Structure 1
């Protein structure tokens, strides 16, 4: 079993990584996001198995609540920045697929 401070520590690490993801997404530096997502997923998995020996004291509870709010806000920002990029990628892939289908049906353009 983990001590309760490990729970707060994990939330702090998660908040830091999600904040970095938001910073990178704002800068349109997409390459590091997958690795950070893997790290976040591992932290979430860790939090799922942690069982504090005793309840968080009021200060720890408040810190955890604050971290969760920050994580949610940063996640929302990342999603808002990444979603248009994904939609644009899907549109490009669809266009390329359509061009390929037309090329097979009618031959390459002259």
Structure 2
């Protein structure tokens, strides 16, 4: 299961390497559709990429800081720097290609 990160630990979680963050809420239908895809990608890519989740209802400060106005939103960080924001549901292969582009 992918770790759900709270506001107080967010910066330490994203500081090293490529980190993919799923901003979600329990009540969000498309977020629920994305969850198993996110889990699959984590199991396939865990040697190279860290995957974490942020509940926008519990961590409003982080959501505001990264301008998360629609969910699901996937934000890709590299060494603590925001590199890409993907809004809405994405098929697995589409997400994988986006993530892999930051491993080069």
| Shorter-normalised TM range | under 0.3
Quick check: which has more Rg, 1 or 2? Answer: 1
Which is richer in helix?
1
Q: Give me the TM-score of the superposition, normalised by structure 1.
A: 0.26
Which is richer in strand?
2
Q: Give me the TM-score of the superposition, normalised by structure 2.
A: 0.27
